[in-house]
Amino acid sequence: MTNGNQSQSVLQVRAFQSVRMGELPWLYSTDLVSTYIEDLESPNVLTLRRAARNLGSLPRSFICGKLQQILESLQQILEEEVDDKVNFTEARRDAVTAMAQVREAAMSSLLDVSLLVVSNAPELLSPNLVQRMMYRLAKQTAECCRDIAGTVFLGLLYSTEHAVPHIPHREELLGIFPVDATASLNWNNPSEVIPYITQMLRLPEYRNHILLGLTGSVEGHLQSMVAELLLPHLIDCYAHEQLSMLAMGQTLLSIFRAHIWNDRVTIGFLKMLQETLSSGYLDFDTQEHCQFCEDILDLCLSGLKNASEFRKLQSYINIICELFRFPGEVRKKVLDTLQDLLSHHIREVRMITAVKQRKMLMMYPVFKETVLVEAINLLLMTDF
């Protein structure tokens, strides 16, 4: 840190202490709040975290005039990604950890500021502001900052002495998260959290945010977590008609379309989608024309054209092979696509395509036995 930055930081600390002690005039303290809000745009992680914490510790007399800006700025931190924020000099893993700490500070401040306002001037919390805050926190409970996000989410939900207004589906959420059952909930343990998180999928307003958070979580975990933990609860929701197959499919499709060029979302999403398709949860087998399947295939084809990383190419191939189980035009397009991939300029892509296609034909034997045997032998014997 340069001498100029050090001096500015020292002055900010002294000014903050003076505000807390009531020694500064209102105008100067307003400038200080603006400075902290500006610091939330800083490329320096320490500055980000300090600004987030300080905004959550200001006296209520300095919050009201800047409430909208403060809450908006703190919420925006929850949406930041490492690659978008700064040119970090640390390793990516360290950068991710640092941003997680910034998010934790922002969420803690969100809770402090919100509860302070609701106890003194609840009319300042507009429906739009509270809704977006709850949606973003819900996403974080399903992703990387489960512990603090879950604590803040429930803290806002359980606030009874001065209830936070405008929380979407408040009564349903209280039914999903009963106080006695969640008092000792370990938000960092997926096996404890997922049964609660998946129940939120039946609430339309939360569904997209929860699924988006889960894709980020899946990206950092073993594939078995999806099959063993997530899918059984999704299937259970569907079996009890709490979550329609069509609604689930449309939400998955919208996430895929919106984030197809964002590798951080796409890799985890493709992994979750592959497991979802292979599980039979999205059961479109009897439909000759499946628009959902065609839309997914078209997005995969679009992604294939621009993908260069082998892991992502392999994920697309896995999805395409899973779509073969659906009849009609989709199956024809899958065969044409795999034929093209057998001529791909990357040898590893040709090889993995041959292996996956062979397994696909054996798993879904839709052709005559003589044709099937010939195709499998050809894929097995050819040196791709």
C-beta pairs of 269-273 under 8 Å, 24+ apart in sequence: 269/215, 269/218, 270/312, 270/315, 270/316, 270/318, 270/319, 271/218, 271/219, 271/223, 271/226, 271/315, 272/214, 272/215, 272/218, 272/226, 272/230, 273/319
Residues 6 or more apart whose Cβ sits within 8 Å of residue 316: 270, 300, 303, 304, 307
Report the run of H or E that residue 265 belongs to, with start and end.
helix 263-279
How confident is the prediction along the chain (384 residues), in pLDDT tens digits per residue?
A: 455 555 454 444 444 444 444 444 444 456 778 888 888 888 787 888 888 888 777 776 666 667 778 888 888 877 666 554 444 444 445 555 666 777 788 888 889 889 988 988 888 889 999 999 999 999 988 886 678 899 999 999 998 888 999 999 999 999 999 998 888 888 888 888 888 888 898 898 998 999 888 877 765 554 455 556 677 776 666 655 545 677 777 888 898 999 888 887 888 888 888 877 887 766 665 556 678 889 999 999 999 988 888 888 999 999 999 999 888 889 999 999 999 999 999 999 999 999 999 999 998 888 888 888 898 899 988 888
Rounded distance between C-alpha atoms, residue 83 and residue 64, angstroms: 33
Rounded distance between C-alpha atoms, residue 344 and residue 154, angstroms: 50
pLDDT of residue 338: 95
Residue with tokens 């609840």: 122
Rounded distance between C-alpha atoms, residue 314 and residue 124, angstroms: 50
Contact between residue 284 and residue 293 where contact means Cβ atoms under 8 Å apart: yes
Residues 6 or more apart whose Cβ sits within 8 Å of residue 183: none
Rounded distance between C-alpha atoms, residue 19 and residue 62, angstroms: 9
pLDDT of residue 243: 53
Rounded distance between C-alpha atoms, residue 36 and residue 82, angstroms: 20
Contact between residue 111 and residue 155 where contact means Cβ atoms under 8 Å apart: yes
Rounded distance between C-alpha atoms, residue 374 and residue 354, angstroms: 14
Among 176, 283, 270, 284, CA closest to 226: 270
pLDDT of residue 252: 84
Full-model pTM:
0.76
pLDDT of residue 25: 44
Helix or strand or coil: residue 365? coil
Helix (H) and strand (E) counts for the chain?
Answer: 21, 0
